[in-house]
């Protein structure tokens, strides 16, 4: 399987693990030295424990992810557009995001960045 396909499959596995609310399955995709910057421009989260806690929290909120287009793979990065839907305090909200995953040589995610801002959130 070529590299672009492998990286697309990691993104699919990520979305599925989220759908299954399986934070361990998400962590299996990450390198030990990974960072998560969500949104981009804020202080990155570093290390497995902190990243696990980040995903567990999102899953506890019952956040749902859906891909909004194909995964784009270039160089060591996969980029993909998706929507997060979540209910907070009884209000349904959606957030439109683009994530980039940078991969290490073992095919693990070494850097995740999420691109979203104030214009990308709305009540639904």
By three-state DSSP, how is residue 110 classified?
Answer: strand
Residue 20 vs 117, nearer CB to a copy of itself: 117
Binding mask 52-71 for a copy of itself (x = CB under 8 A): ----------------xxxx
Alpha helices in the chain (DSSP H): 3-19, 23-27, 48-60
Q: Tell how many helices (H) and how many strands (E) occur in the chain.
A: 3, 8
Among 22, 56, 93, 120, binds a copy of itself (CB under 8 A): 120
Within 10 angstroms of residue 26's Cβ, the number of other Cβ atoms is: 24
Q: Which residues in 70-89 contact a copy of itself (CB under 8 A)?
A: 70-81
Query: Residue 14 catalytic?
Result: yes
Catalytic residue among 14, 30, 55, 99: 14
């Amino acid at each position: 399987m070529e590299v672009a396909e492998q990286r697309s499959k990691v993104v699919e596995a990520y979305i599925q693990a989220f759908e299954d609310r399986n934070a361990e399955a998400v962590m299996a995709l990450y390198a030990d030295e990974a960072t998560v910057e969500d949104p981009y421009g804020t202080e990155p989260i570093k290390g497995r424990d902190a990243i696990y806690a980040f995903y567990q929290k999102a899953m506890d909120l019952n956040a749902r992810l859906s891909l909004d287009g194909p995964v784009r793979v270039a160089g060591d990065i996969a980029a993909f557009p998706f929507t997060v839907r979540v209910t907070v305090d009884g209000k349904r909200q959606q957030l439109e995001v683009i994530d980039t995953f940078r991969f290490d040589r073992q095919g693990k995610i070494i850097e995740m960045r999420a691109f979203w801002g104030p214009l990308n959130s709305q009540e639904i």
